[in-house]
Amino acid sequence: MAGGSYIALSRDLGGAQSNETDSSGIVAPAGMDLEELLLQLLAPMQHLSTVRDPHELFRLGAVYASDGPVSDEPHAMLVVSTAGLDKGDFRVTRKLLSIPRRRSSVEVAEDDGRVEPQRGGFIGSILRRRQPELIRDLNLGSDPIIGRELADFDSCLLLPLFSGGKMCKRVLVFRRRWSEVEFADVERALLILNLIESAIENITTAQRNADLARALDMQFEQVSRLQRRMLPRPHPDRPGIWHGATGGVEIGMHYQPCERAGGDYFNFFPLPDGRLMLIVADVAGHGADAAMIMGMLHAILSSDAPLASGPAELLTYANRRLLPLMVEGRFVTAVAAMLDPASRVVTYSSAGHPAPRLVNPAAASITPLDGALGDVLGLLDDAQYPEAQARLGPGARVVFYTDGLTDMLATGSDGRGAERLDSILVPLGPASPADLAVRLVDAAMDGAEGGKAIDDITVVTLSLR
């Protein structure tokens, strides 16, 4: 490409010959049309920016890089990598063979690491060379690695490729009877092929990341399915209602994880004497690890837990069992409540959990059940859990929730999520437990950015029939 296509920013050339300059301030070589030169430069760049297939990108890069030195000659181009290999080993990760007007083939490895390493031959002999070089008078016919495909070529241009500041790849351009190469051609090929190789690495990395994301998504879906099986079953005909015997207690529920799998947990345990033990818990954080801790809590509460002994004893038992299992930085907040339909009394204990709300529709009043606040689960071996009681009047509702609800309600209300919850509960008080749970979550999600919660949201409501 001697005397070829280039552009330069105009500057004071100290009396150099002045060429025609347009309003852009760019100078074209004498006798050449600037607009045409810019088109020749920009068109391939625009085209390359749209290509997402590594095979096509390498083919186009090879075409643009070889325009001049081998454009009309039969030639081959190999990309050789030594990254992560023993000294003397290499991989041929890209390959192009072009016979003008006859045939052309391109091979690009989907994953460089899956290409079998090789050793020896002509390629092995030039791995120590680190500068562009034209190697002539080759006899490749007997080469154990490339002889069968490249026996017709007797010259090779070596060009280094860089990745992460290291020269761990080389481009080998083969042709016949190649006596010399102009610096402008070496410069062009070196720049284009390094950029193309970086682009191919980015594309293959993006594809690999997409494959990993799909695999992780499948795993999250499996975790999510397992998690849903741990939660109480919804009624098949009544959305938002627990499908289970309650002995005169109606329970509504709504669970909205912010990711595929979450760290909120709730469950109901009917006892033989007609009482009902309820627990709502929230693992700090969310995602797969929070879901795993939630699964451990479910297993603990489902295996010989002292359900009939009351909320404080249940939380003490759960804390003792969780302590040796917790990972650093994680803990669980929870509220346990025992409801006795016969006496209409609810006994509760909190492990650092947001206070449930006792809603009295007749008086349009909201009472926080905050009289029994204890330590979170999974942090202290001497944690204490007090108990308190409240009586449910006619039509009363008890609302249990995780802090994802008040965090979402706090958006746009100066951080006063609990106050906004109470203001919403007053007019919603007479609603059925199922409607109340669903409408509270809907209110929290109203206006959520992108329609996505910032934390898992659980609402459990109950009333006596």
pLDDT reported for residue 377: 96
pLDDT reported for residue 280: 96
Domains defined for the chain, CATH in brackets: 47-205 (3.30.450.40), 236-464 (3.60.40.10)
**Inter-residue contact 188 to 159 (CB < 8 Å):** no
CA–CA gap between residue 281 and residue 264 (Å, rounded): 6
Q: Which pair of structure tokens corresponds to residue 319?
A: 């804390």
pLDDT reported for residue 3: 36
List the chain residues with pLDDT less than 50. 1-18
Residue type, 250: E
pLDDT reported for residue 329: 79
Question: Which tens digit of pLDDT belongs to each residue from 414-458?
Answer: 668 888 899 999 888 788 888 898 899 888 888 677 667 678 889
CA–CA gap between residue 418 and residue 407 (Å, rounded): 9
Q: Which pair of structure tokens corresponds to residue 21?
A: 């300059």
How many residues are present in the chain? 465
pLDDT reported for residue 14: 36
CA–CA gap between residue 324 and residue 378 (Å, rounded): 8
Residues 310-326 as b or e (16 or more Cβ within 10 Å = b): bbbbbbbbbbebbeeeb
Question: Which tens digit of pLDDT belongs to each residue from 368-400?
Answer: 999 999 999 999 999 999 999 999 999 899 999
Q: What is the dihedral of CA 163, 46, 132, 99, to 10 degrees?
A: 120
DSSP per residue, 304-349: S--GGG-HHHHHHHHHHHHGGGPPTT--EEEEEEEEETTTTEEEEE
β 373-374/345-351 pair status = parallel
Q: Is the pTM of this model over 0.85?
A: no
DSSP per residue, 177-219: S-----HHHHHHHHHHHHHHHHHHHHHHHHHHHHHHHHHHHHH
